[in-house]
Structure 1
Amino acid sequence: MPHDIDITLVLPRYLAGPGDPAWVTVPLHRACRWSTGEDPLVPRVILTSPDQLAQLRIVPDPDPAEPRWTLRHAHHGDQRAWSVTFNAGTPVEIIAAVTDALTDPAAPQAASVDPYETLRAAGWHAPRHHDGRPSPQGMTSPNGLARVDRLGQEGGRTASWIAEVSVHDLPSVWRACLDGDTPPHLVAAFFGALADETPLVREPHRVPHLAATHGRTTTGRVAAGTLAFALEHRTTALAQRTTPPPATPPSGPHVPKQRRAR
Protein backbone atom coordinates (compact mmCIF):
# COMPACT_ATOMS: atom_id res chain seq x y z
CA MET A 1 0.00 0.00 0.00
CA PRO A 2 1.29 3.52 -0.81
CA HIS A 3 2.29 5.46 2.27
CA ASP A 4 3.56 8.89 3.23
CA ILE A 5 7.01 9.61 4.63
CA ASP A 6 8.42 12.50 6.66
CA ILE A 7 10.60 15.08 4.95
CA THR A 8 12.29 18.33 5.92
CA LEU A 9 12.57 21.37 3.64
CA VAL A 10 15.76 23.36 4.22
CA LEU A 11 16.56 27.01 3.46
CA PRO A 12 18.97 28.49 2.66
CA ARG A 13 19.88 25.54 0.48
CA TYR A 14 23.62 25.85 1.08
CA LEU A 15 22.99 24.64 4.67
CA ALA A 16 21.08 21.51 3.64
CA GLY A 17 24.02 19.09 3.82
CA PRO A 18 25.50 16.99 1.02
CA GLY A 19 22.60 14.73 0.01
CA ASP A 20 22.88 11.69 -2.25
CA PRO A 21 25.75 11.76 -4.83
CA ALA A 22 23.54 9.74 -7.20
CA TRP A 23 21.68 12.99 -7.90
CA VAL A 24 24.77 13.97 -9.92
CA THR A 25 26.31 10.67 -11.01
CA VAL A 26 23.25 8.75 -12.24
CA PRO A 27 22.10 11.39 -14.77
CA LEU A 28 25.67 11.86 -16.01
CA HIS A 29 25.95 8.13 -16.65
CA ARG A 30 22.46 7.31 -17.91
CA ALA A 31 21.31 10.55 -19.55
CA CYS A 32 24.60 12.05 -20.71
CA ARG A 33 26.45 8.80 -21.46
CA TRP A 34 29.46 9.50 -19.25
CA SER A 35 31.44 6.30 -18.78
CA THR A 36 32.53 4.89 -15.43
CA GLY A 37 35.87 3.48 -14.39
CA GLU A 38 35.88 -0.31 -14.15
CA ASP A 39 38.75 -0.80 -11.69
CA PRO A 40 37.22 -2.20 -8.45
CA LEU A 41 40.48 -1.55 -6.58
CA VAL A 42 40.27 2.22 -7.05
CA PRO A 43 38.43 3.69 -4.03
CA ARG A 44 36.84 6.55 -5.92
CA VAL A 45 34.20 7.27 -8.55
CA ILE A 46 35.45 8.39 -11.96
CA LEU A 47 33.08 9.49 -14.73
CA THR A 48 34.33 10.57 -18.16
CA SER A 49 32.40 12.44 -20.83
CA PRO A 50 31.82 10.78 -24.24
CA ASP A 51 34.30 13.14 -25.93
CA GLN A 52 36.94 12.30 -23.27
CA LEU A 53 37.42 16.02 -22.51
CA ALA A 54 35.68 16.19 -19.12
CA GLN A 55 36.09 14.02 -16.04
CA LEU A 56 34.43 13.97 -12.64
CA ARG A 57 36.23 12.36 -9.70
CA ILE A 58 34.66 11.72 -6.32
CA VAL A 59 36.85 10.70 -3.39
CA PRO A 60 34.84 8.72 -0.80
CA ASP A 61 36.56 9.87 2.40
CA PRO A 62 38.81 12.87 1.75
CA ASP A 63 40.63 14.91 4.34
CA PRO A 64 38.16 17.56 5.62
CA ALA A 65 40.31 20.30 4.12
CA GLU A 66 40.51 18.61 0.71
CA PRO A 67 37.84 18.57 -2.01
CA ARG A 68 35.67 15.51 -2.45
CA TRP A 69 34.44 16.42 -5.95
CA THR A 70 36.76 17.47 -8.78
CA LEU A 71 35.42 18.34 -12.22
CA ARG A 72 38.10 18.87 -14.88
CA HIS A 73 37.93 19.78 -18.54
CA ALA A 74 40.83 19.57 -20.97
CA HIS A 75 41.98 22.32 -23.31
CA HIS A 76 39.81 22.34 -26.42
CA GLY A 77 39.84 24.86 -29.24
CA ASP A 78 39.80 28.37 -27.79
CA GLN A 79 38.74 27.09 -24.37
CA ARG A 80 41.61 26.68 -21.93
CA ALA A 81 41.66 23.77 -19.50
CA TRP A 82 39.68 24.41 -16.31
CA SER A 83 38.67 22.71 -13.07
CA VAL A 84 36.05 23.04 -10.34
CA THR A 85 36.25 21.49 -6.86
CA PHE A 86 33.71 21.02 -4.07
CA ASN A 87 34.23 19.89 -0.49
CA ALA A 88 32.24 17.01 0.97
CA GLY A 89 29.56 19.19 2.60
CA THR A 90 28.44 20.79 -0.67
CA PRO A 91 24.78 20.03 -1.45
CA VAL A 92 24.59 17.76 -4.50
CA GLU A 93 21.89 19.98 -6.01
CA ILE A 94 24.40 22.84 -6.23
CA ILE A 95 26.98 20.57 -7.86
CA ALA A 96 24.30 19.26 -10.24
CA ALA A 97 23.60 22.80 -11.42
CA VAL A 98 27.16 22.93 -12.77
CA THR A 99 27.17 19.47 -14.35
CA ASP A 100 23.71 20.05 -15.85
CA ALA A 101 24.91 23.28 -17.45
CA LEU A 102 28.06 21.57 -18.73
CA THR A 103 26.12 18.79 -20.43
CA ASP A 104 23.23 20.92 -21.70
CA PRO A 105 23.40 20.98 -25.53
CA ALA A 106 21.42 24.22 -25.54
CA ALA A 107 23.43 26.03 -22.86
CA PRO A 108 24.37 29.62 -23.78
CA GLN A 109 28.10 30.24 -23.91
CA ALA A 110 28.07 34.04 -23.64
CA ALA A 111 29.28 35.70 -20.46
CA SER A 112 26.87 37.63 -18.29
CA VAL A 113 27.42 41.36 -18.16
CA ASP A 114 27.55 41.15 -14.36
CA PRO A 115 28.54 37.77 -12.88
CA TYR A 116 27.05 38.84 -9.54
CA GLU A 117 23.69 39.82 -11.01
CA THR A 118 21.89 36.69 -9.78
CA LEU A 119 23.33 36.97 -6.28
CA ARG A 120 22.53 40.65 -6.01
CA ALA A 121 18.94 40.03 -7.09
CA ALA A 122 18.64 37.51 -4.22
CA GLY A 123 19.75 40.07 -1.65
CA TRP A 124 23.48 39.29 -1.52
CA HIS A 125 25.68 42.33 -0.96
CA ALA A 126 29.31 43.36 -1.21
CA PRO A 127 31.26 42.77 2.02
CA ARG A 128 32.93 45.79 3.54
CA HIS A 129 36.57 46.52 4.31
CA HIS A 130 37.67 47.55 7.79
CA ASP A 131 37.25 51.19 6.77
CA GLY A 132 33.63 50.58 5.79
CA ARG A 133 34.11 50.65 2.02
CA PRO A 134 32.39 47.86 0.04
CA SER A 135 34.65 45.28 -1.59
CA PRO A 136 34.03 44.98 -5.35
CA GLN A 137 35.60 41.52 -5.43
CA GLY A 138 33.11 39.61 -3.29
CA MET A 139 29.49 39.04 -2.33
CA THR A 140 27.97 37.92 0.98
CA SER A 141 24.61 36.25 1.55
CA PRO A 142 21.91 38.14 3.49
CA ASN A 143 22.55 36.04 6.62
CA GLY A 144 26.32 36.43 6.36
CA LEU A 145 26.95 32.67 6.28
CA ALA A 146 27.93 32.30 2.62
CA ARG A 147 30.44 34.32 0.68
CA VAL A 148 31.84 34.40 -2.86
CA ASP A 149 35.22 35.98 -3.52
CA ARG A 150 37.18 36.75 -6.67
CA LEU A 151 40.87 36.00 -6.20
CA GLY A 152 43.57 37.91 -8.05
CA GLN A 153 45.36 36.76 -11.16
CA GLU A 154 48.40 34.53 -10.79
CA GLY A 155 50.84 33.25 -13.37
CA GLY A 156 48.86 34.55 -16.31
CA ARG A 157 45.68 32.77 -15.19
CA THR A 158 42.35 34.53 -14.89
CA ALA A 159 41.16 35.25 -11.35
CA SER A 160 39.42 32.32 -9.65
CA TRP A 161 36.06 32.19 -7.85
CA ILE A 162 35.98 30.91 -4.25
CA ALA A 163 32.70 30.17 -2.46
CA GLU A 164 32.62 29.32 1.23
CA VAL A 165 29.92 28.65 3.81
CA SER A 166 30.95 29.12 7.43
CA VAL A 167 29.49 30.06 10.79
CA HIS A 168 31.43 32.50 12.95
CA ASP A 169 34.80 30.99 13.93
CA LEU A 170 33.84 27.38 13.20
CA PRO A 171 35.50 25.42 10.37
CA SER A 172 33.97 25.86 6.93
CA VAL A 173 30.76 23.95 6.29
CA TRP A 174 31.88 23.56 2.69
CA ARG A 175 34.02 25.28 0.09
CA ALA A 176 34.07 25.39 -3.71
CA CYS A 177 36.66 26.72 -6.12
CA LEU A 178 36.04 27.54 -9.79
CA ASP A 179 39.24 28.44 -11.59
CA GLY A 180 39.31 31.52 -13.74
CA ASP A 181 38.97 29.66 -17.02
CA THR A 182 35.70 27.99 -16.02
CA PRO A 183 33.15 28.84 -18.76
CA PRO A 184 30.97 31.82 -17.74
CA HIS A 185 27.71 29.91 -18.12
CA LEU A 186 28.92 27.35 -15.57
CA VAL A 187 29.85 30.12 -13.13
CA ALA A 188 26.39 31.60 -13.67
CA ALA A 189 24.77 28.21 -13.03
CA PHE A 190 26.72 27.84 -9.78
CA PHE A 191 25.73 31.33 -8.58
CA GLY A 192 22.13 30.67 -9.56
CA ALA A 193 22.07 27.48 -7.48
CA LEU A 194 23.54 29.34 -4.49
CA ALA A 195 20.92 32.08 -4.70
CA ASP A 196 17.96 29.82 -5.53
CA GLU A 197 15.29 30.19 -2.86
CA THR A 198 13.69 26.83 -3.59
CA PRO A 199 14.15 24.69 -0.43
CA LEU A 200 15.99 21.41 -0.64
CA VAL A 201 14.37 18.18 0.55
CA ARG A 202 16.18 16.10 3.14
CA GLU A 203 15.29 13.17 5.35
CA PRO A 204 14.75 14.51 8.88
CA HIS A 205 17.61 12.51 10.39
CA ARG A 206 20.02 13.85 7.75
CA VAL A 207 19.41 17.55 8.33
CA PRO A 208 22.63 19.18 9.63
CA HIS A 209 22.49 20.83 13.02
CA LEU A 210 23.51 24.16 11.48
CA ALA A 211 20.45 24.09 9.23
CA ALA A 212 18.21 23.92 12.28
CA THR A 213 20.09 26.59 14.24
CA HIS A 214 21.01 29.05 11.46
CA GLY A 215 18.54 28.27 8.68
CA ARG A 216 14.84 27.64 8.23
CA THR A 217 13.43 24.13 8.28
CA THR A 218 9.90 22.97 7.64
CA THR A 219 8.67 19.43 8.19
CA GLY A 220 6.01 17.73 6.14
CA ARG A 221 4.88 14.47 4.60
CA VAL A 222 4.89 13.34 0.97
CA ALA A 223 3.98 10.16 -0.83
CA ALA A 224 6.86 7.72 -0.77
CA GLY A 225 6.72 7.43 -4.55
CA THR A 226 7.38 11.15 -4.92
CA LEU A 227 10.88 10.73 -3.54
CA ALA A 228 11.43 7.25 -4.92
CA PHE A 229 10.95 8.42 -8.52
CA ALA A 230 12.47 11.91 -8.22
CA LEU A 231 15.87 10.78 -9.52
CA GLU A 232 14.28 8.78 -12.32
CA HIS A 233 12.23 11.77 -13.43
CA ARG A 234 15.28 14.03 -13.29
CA THR A 235 17.34 11.59 -15.38
CA THR A 236 14.59 11.25 -17.97
CA ALA A 237 14.21 15.02 -18.27
CA LEU A 238 17.95 15.50 -18.82
CA ALA A 239 18.05 12.73 -21.41
CA GLN A 240 15.33 14.49 -23.40
CA ARG A 241 17.30 17.70 -23.83
CA THR A 242 18.10 18.38 -27.46
CA THR A 243 20.40 20.66 -29.39
CA PRO A 244 18.44 23.64 -30.74
CA PRO A 245 18.35 23.98 -34.52
CA PRO A 246 20.80 26.49 -35.98
CA ALA A 247 19.44 29.98 -36.35
CA THR A 248 18.12 30.78 -39.81
CA PRO A 249 19.97 33.77 -41.25
CA PRO A 250 17.67 36.70 -41.99
CA SER A 251 16.67 36.88 -45.60
CA GLY A 252 17.50 39.97 -47.59
CA PRO A 253 14.95 42.24 -49.16
CA HIS A 254 13.01 40.75 -52.07
CA VAL A 255 14.32 41.99 -55.40
CA PRO A 256 11.93 41.46 -58.32
CA LYS A 257 13.38 39.96 -61.46
CA GLN A 258 14.00 42.47 -64.19
CA ARG A 259 12.26 41.94 -67.46
CA ARG A 260 14.36 41.84 -70.56
CA ALA A 261 13.76 44.92 -72.71
CA ARG A 262 12.36 44.26 -76.17
Structure 2
Amino acid sequence: MLPSPETVEVEYITPRRLAGGGDPAWITVLLHRACGWSHGDDPLMPRVILTSPDQKAQLRLDPAPAGQWWTLHHAPDRGRPAWYASFGAHTPVEIIAGFVDALTGPRLTHDEEADPYGPLRQAGWEPAWAENGLVSPDATTYIQHPVGEETGPWVATATLGESRPVWQARFDEHTPPHLIAAFTATLAAPTPAIRTAPGRLPPLDPNRITRTEANMPVDLIAFALENRIRTLAARREVPPAAPSAPRRPPAHPRRTR
Protein backbone atom coordinates (compact mmCIF):
# COMPACT_ATOMS: atom_id res chain seq x y z
CA MET A 1 0.00 0.00 0.00
CA LEU A 2 1.39 3.37 -1.01
CA PRO A 3 1.70 5.94 1.77
CA SER A 4 -0.84 8.76 1.78
CA PRO A 5 0.31 12.39 1.55
CA GLU A 6 -0.04 12.59 5.35
CA THR A 7 2.17 9.58 6.09
CA VAL A 8 5.71 8.46 5.37
CA GLU A 9 7.05 4.95 4.98
CA VAL A 10 9.35 3.83 7.77
CA GLU A 11 10.94 0.61 8.99
CA TYR A 12 11.04 -0.69 12.53
CA ILE A 13 14.35 -2.53 12.95
CA THR A 14 15.11 -5.02 15.72
CA PRO A 15 17.58 -5.27 17.35
CA ARG A 16 18.18 -1.58 17.03
CA ARG A 17 21.90 -1.95 17.75
CA LEU A 18 22.17 -3.26 14.16
CA ALA A 19 19.93 -0.65 12.53
CA GLY A 20 22.68 1.64 11.26
CA GLY A 21 23.67 5.11 12.36
CA GLY A 22 20.51 7.14 11.84
CA ASP A 23 20.22 10.94 11.81
CA PRO A 24 23.21 12.69 13.51
CA ALA A 25 20.91 15.62 14.38
CA TRP A 26 19.48 13.39 17.12
CA ILE A 27 22.75 14.18 18.93
CA THR A 28 24.20 17.38 17.46
CA VAL A 29 21.07 19.53 17.33
CA LEU A 30 20.05 18.28 20.75
CA LEU A 31 23.37 19.30 22.33
CA HIS A 32 23.26 22.75 20.75
CA ARG A 33 19.64 23.69 21.31
CA ALA A 34 18.71 21.82 24.48
CA CYS A 35 22.04 21.74 26.32
CA GLY A 36 23.71 24.98 25.25
CA TRP A 37 26.76 23.46 23.55
CA SER A 38 28.44 25.85 21.12
CA HIS A 39 29.52 24.76 17.65
CA GLY A 40 32.33 25.74 15.37
CA ASP A 41 31.67 27.14 11.91
CA ASP A 42 34.02 25.76 9.29
CA PRO A 43 32.08 25.27 6.03
CA LEU A 44 35.18 23.88 4.30
CA MET A 45 35.39 20.85 6.59
CA PRO A 46 32.80 18.02 6.63
CA ARG A 47 32.81 17.80 10.41
CA VAL A 48 30.96 19.11 13.44
CA ILE A 49 32.64 20.27 16.65
CA LEU A 50 30.53 20.99 19.72
CA THR A 51 31.81 22.33 23.05
CA SER A 52 30.01 22.18 26.40
CA PRO A 53 29.10 25.44 28.19
CA ASP A 54 31.78 24.85 30.85
CA GLN A 55 34.42 24.23 28.13
CA LYS A 56 35.31 20.84 29.67
CA ALA A 57 33.85 18.55 27.01
CA GLN A 58 34.16 18.57 23.24
CA LEU A 59 32.35 16.30 20.80
CA ARG A 60 33.66 15.84 17.27
CA LEU A 61 31.68 14.26 14.46
CA ASP A 62 34.28 13.59 11.81
CA PRO A 63 33.08 11.35 8.94
CA ALA A 64 36.46 9.79 8.20
CA PRO A 65 36.38 6.59 6.11
CA ALA A 66 38.28 4.69 8.81
CA GLY A 67 38.12 4.96 12.56
CA GLN A 68 35.52 6.30 14.93
CA TRP A 69 33.20 9.02 13.63
CA TRP A 70 32.05 10.29 17.03
CA THR A 71 34.71 11.24 19.59
CA LEU A 72 34.14 12.98 22.92
CA HIS A 73 37.03 14.28 25.02
CA HIS A 74 36.50 15.48 28.59
CA ALA A 75 38.98 17.49 30.63
CA PRO A 76 39.97 16.55 34.21
CA ASP A 77 37.14 17.25 36.62
CA ARG A 78 36.49 16.77 40.36
CA GLY A 79 39.48 14.55 40.98
CA ARG A 80 38.93 12.47 37.80
CA PRO A 81 41.61 12.40 35.07
CA ALA A 82 40.74 13.38 31.52
CA TRP A 83 38.79 10.74 29.61
CA TYR A 84 37.32 10.02 26.19
CA ALA A 85 34.55 8.05 24.51
CA SER A 86 34.15 7.22 20.83
CA PHE A 87 31.57 5.58 18.57
CA GLY A 88 31.82 4.10 15.09
CA ALA A 89 29.91 5.49 12.12
CA HIS A 90 27.17 2.83 12.24
CA THR A 91 26.50 3.11 15.97
CA PRO A 92 22.77 3.92 16.19
CA VAL A 93 22.21 7.47 17.40
CA GLU A 94 19.53 6.17 19.77
CA ILE A 95 22.24 4.26 21.65
CA ILE A 96 24.71 7.16 21.63
CA ALA A 97 21.88 9.30 22.98
CA GLY A 98 21.76 7.26 26.18
CA PHE A 99 25.36 8.24 26.89
CA VAL A 100 24.96 11.88 25.84
CA ASP A 101 21.73 12.38 27.79
CA ALA A 102 23.39 11.08 30.97
CA LEU A 103 26.43 13.30 30.36
CA THR A 104 24.32 16.44 30.07
CA GLY A 105 21.83 15.51 32.80
CA PRO A 106 21.94 16.18 36.53
CA ARG A 107 24.92 14.66 38.31
CA LEU A 108 23.95 11.57 40.28
CA THR A 109 24.79 11.30 43.96
CA HIS A 110 26.11 7.73 43.73
CA ASP A 111 27.28 7.67 40.12
CA GLU A 112 30.55 5.94 41.09
CA GLU A 113 28.55 2.91 42.24
CA ALA A 114 26.89 2.35 38.85
CA ASP A 115 27.46 -1.08 37.28
CA PRO A 116 27.74 -0.88 33.47
CA TYR A 117 27.10 -4.64 33.24
CA GLY A 118 23.90 -4.42 35.28
CA PRO A 119 21.48 -3.51 32.43
CA LEU A 120 23.02 -6.19 30.21
CA ARG A 121 22.64 -8.96 32.78
CA GLN A 122 19.01 -7.96 33.32
CA ALA A 123 18.47 -8.26 29.54
CA GLY A 124 19.87 -11.79 29.44
CA TRP A 125 23.42 -11.11 28.28
CA GLU A 126 25.80 -13.90 29.29
CA PRO A 127 29.53 -14.18 30.02
CA ALA A 128 31.54 -13.86 26.81
CA TRP A 129 34.60 -15.77 25.69
CA ALA A 130 36.63 -12.62 26.17
CA GLU A 131 38.07 -11.77 29.57
CA ASN A 132 35.53 -10.07 31.84
CA GLY A 133 32.94 -9.56 29.11
CA LEU A 134 29.31 -10.18 28.21
CA VAL A 135 27.68 -11.18 24.93
CA SER A 136 24.13 -10.52 23.71
CA PRO A 137 21.63 -13.42 23.50
CA ASP A 138 21.87 -13.39 19.68
CA ALA A 139 25.70 -13.34 19.85
CA THR A 140 25.90 -10.24 17.61
CA THR A 141 27.23 -7.80 20.21
CA TYR A 142 29.71 -8.12 23.03
CA ILE A 143 31.31 -5.78 25.55
CA GLN A 144 34.45 -6.30 27.56
CA HIS A 145 36.49 -4.49 30.19
CA PRO A 146 39.90 -6.00 30.89
CA VAL A 147 40.72 -5.90 34.60
CA GLY A 148 44.13 -6.78 35.99
CA GLU A 149 47.36 -5.06 36.82
CA GLU A 150 46.42 -2.42 34.27
CA THR A 151 42.73 -1.75 33.83
CA GLY A 152 41.88 -1.25 30.18
CA PRO A 153 39.12 0.63 28.36
CA TRP A 154 35.56 -0.60 27.93
CA VAL A 155 34.94 -1.80 24.36
CA ALA A 156 31.57 -2.70 22.83
CA THR A 157 31.51 -4.34 19.39
CA ALA A 158 28.56 -5.16 17.15
CA THR A 159 29.10 -7.73 14.39
CA LEU A 160 27.28 -9.83 11.84
CA GLY A 161 29.88 -12.57 12.06
CA GLU A 162 33.57 -12.94 12.82
CA SER A 163 34.60 -11.04 9.69
CA ARG A 164 31.69 -8.57 9.53
CA PRO A 165 32.11 -5.88 12.20
CA VAL A 166 29.36 -3.26 12.18
CA TRP A 167 30.48 -0.71 14.78
CA GLN A 168 32.53 -0.31 17.90
CA ALA A 169 32.25 1.97 20.94
CA ARG A 170 35.18 2.64 23.25
CA PHE A 171 35.31 4.22 26.70
CA ASP A 172 38.46 5.26 28.49
CA GLU A 173 39.01 3.53 31.84
CA HIS A 174 38.43 6.89 33.55
CA THR A 175 35.00 7.40 31.98
CA PRO A 176 32.40 7.86 34.77
CA PRO A 177 30.70 4.48 35.35
CA HIS A 178 27.17 5.92 35.30
CA LEU A 179 27.74 7.19 31.74
CA ILE A 180 28.80 3.74 30.54
CA ALA A 181 25.83 2.25 32.38
CA ALA A 182 23.53 4.68 30.53
CA PHE A 183 25.07 3.47 27.26
CA THR A 184 24.62 -0.22 28.12
CA ALA A 185 21.01 0.42 29.17
CA THR A 186 20.16 1.78 25.72
CA LEU A 187 22.32 -0.89 24.09
CA ALA A 188 20.21 -3.64 25.70
CA ALA A 189 16.81 -1.95 25.36
CA PRO A 190 14.34 -3.95 23.22
CA THR A 191 12.82 -0.85 21.60
CA PRO A 192 13.21 -1.02 17.80
CA ALA A 193 14.91 1.73 15.82
CA ILE A 194 12.81 3.70 13.36
CA ARG A 195 14.40 4.49 10.03
CA THR A 196 12.91 6.54 7.21
CA ALA A 197 13.71 6.01 3.52
CA PRO A 198 13.99 2.21 3.84
CA GLY A 199 15.37 1.87 0.32
CA ARG A 200 18.52 3.77 1.34
CA LEU A 201 19.48 1.41 4.14
CA PRO A 202 22.49 -0.86 3.55
CA PRO A 203 21.76 -4.58 3.15
CA LEU A 204 21.00 -6.16 6.50
CA ASP A 205 21.15 -9.84 7.44
CA PRO A 206 17.53 -11.12 7.44
CA ASN A 207 18.55 -14.02 9.66
CA ARG A 208 19.59 -11.69 12.47
CA ILE A 209 17.55 -8.53 11.90
CA THR A 210 13.78 -8.07 11.76
CA ARG A 211 12.49 -5.28 9.51
CA THR A 212 8.85 -4.25 9.65
CA GLU A 213 7.53 -1.64 7.24
CA ALA A 214 4.80 0.77 8.28
CA ASN A 215 3.29 4.11 7.38
CA MET A 216 3.74 6.72 10.08
CA PRO A 217 2.08 10.15 10.27
CA VAL A 218 4.41 12.83 8.97
CA ASP A 219 3.84 14.94 12.09
CA LEU A 220 5.27 12.25 14.34
CA ILE A 221 8.44 12.07 12.27
CA ALA A 222 8.78 15.83 11.85
CA PHE A 223 8.31 16.66 15.53
CA ALA A 224 10.19 13.73 17.10
CA LEU A 225 13.43 15.72 17.35
CA GLU A 226 11.61 18.84 18.56
CA ASN A 227 9.92 16.83 21.29
CA ARG A 228 13.29 15.39 22.33
CA ILE A 229 14.81 18.87 22.47
CA ARG A 230 11.90 20.21 24.50
CA THR A 231 12.11 17.36 27.00
CA LEU A 232 15.84 17.67 27.63
CA ALA A 233 15.80 21.47 27.62
CA ALA A 234 13.34 21.33 30.52
CA ARG A 235 16.14 19.87 32.68
CA ARG A 236 18.03 23.17 32.45
CA GLU A 237 15.14 25.34 33.54
CA VAL A 238 15.52 26.58 37.07
CA PRO A 239 12.21 26.73 38.93
CA PRO A 240 11.31 30.22 40.08
CA ALA A 241 12.09 30.98 43.67
CA ALA A 242 9.15 30.86 46.02
CA PRO A 243 7.96 34.36 46.91
CA SER A 244 9.15 35.35 50.32
CA ALA A 245 6.70 36.39 52.95
CA PRO A 246 6.35 40.15 53.34
CA ARG A 247 8.48 41.47 56.12
CA ARG A 248 6.69 43.00 59.02
CA PRO A 249 7.74 46.45 60.05
CA PRO A 250 9.69 46.50 63.28
CA ALA A 251 7.51 46.93 66.31
CA HIS A 252 7.93 50.24 68.07
CA PRO A 253 8.15 49.99 71.83
CA ARG A 254 5.30 51.63 73.64
CA ARG A 255 6.26 54.86 75.19
CA THR A 256 5.47 55.08 78.85
CA ARG A 257 4.83 58.27 80.68
What is the number of residues matched between the two proteins? 235
The answer to whether 1:150 aligns with 2:145 is yes
Q: CA deviation at 1:112?
A: 3.9
- What is the TM-score when the length of structure 1 is the normalising length? 0.83
Q: CA deviation at 1:2?
A: 5.9
Give the letter for the 2:48 counterpart.
V
Give the letter for the 1:140 counterpart.
V
Q: Which residue of 1 aligns with 2:11?
A: 8
> Could you list the per-position Cα deviations for residues 122-165 of structure 1 after superposition, in whole angstroms to 9, with x for gaps in the alignment?
1110024xxxxxx66000000000000113468x6x43100001
Give matches, 1:39-188, under 5 Å. Answer: 39-60=42-63, 62-64=64-66, 66-105=67-106, 107-112=108-113, 114-128=115-129, 137-152=132-147, 158-188=151-181
- What is the TM-score when the length of structure 2 is the normalising length? 0.84
> Could you list the per-position Cα deviations for residues 180-231 of structure 1 after superposition, in whole angstroms to 9, with x for gaps in the alignment?
1101110101100110001110122244422534112222111011001100
Pick closer, same or farther for the CA change 1:198–1:27 going to 2, 3 Å: same
Q: Which residue of 2 aligns with 1:251?
A: none
Q: How far apart, in 2, do the equivalents of 1:108 and 1:149 lie?
A: 26
The answer to whether 1:23 aligns with 2:20 is no
> Could you list the per-position Cα deviations for residues 64-111 of structure 1 after superposition, in whole angstroms to 9, with x for gaps in the alignment?
3x1000011001221211100111111011111111110002545523
Which of 222, 236, 253 is equivalent to 1:228? 222
Identity of aligned residues (%): 46
Give the letter for the 2:12 counterpart.
L
Pick closer, same or farther for the CA change 1:243–1:117 going to 2, 3 Å: farther
Asked if structure 2 preserves the Cα contact closer than 8 Å seen for 1:8 and 1:207, the reply is: no
Deviant stretches of 4+, over 4 Å:
106-109, 242-245
The answer to whether 1:210 aligns with 2:213 is no
Q: Which residue of 1 aligns with 2:254?
A: none
Give the letter for the 2:209 counterpart.
G
| RMSD of aligned alpha carbons | 2.2
Give the letter for the 1:150 counterpart.
H
Asked if structure 2 preserves the Cα contact closer than 8 Å seen for 1:152 and 1:160, the reply is: no
Q: How far apart, in 1, do the equivalents of 2:114 and 2:27 lie?
A: 29
Q: CA deviation at 1:4?
A: 1.3
Asked if structure 1 preserves the Cα contact closer than 8 Å seen for 2:116 and 2:178, the reply is: no
- SS of alignment partner, residue 58 of structure 2: strand
Pick closer, same or farther for the CA change 1:107–1:30 going to 2, 3 Å: farther
Q: Which residue of 1 aligns with 2:39?
A: 36
Asked if structure 2 preserves the Cα contact closer than 8 Å seen for 1:106 and 1:243, the reply is: no
- SS of alignment partner, residue 143 of structure 2: strand
Deviates more, 1:198-207 or 1:101-110: 101-110
Pick closer, same or farther for the CA change 1:113–1:82 going to 2, 3 Å: closer
Give the letter for the 2:212 counterpart.
T
Unaligned runs of 5+ in 2: 240-257
Asked if structure 2 preserves the Cα contact closer than 8 Å seen for 1:45 and 1:59, the reply is: yes
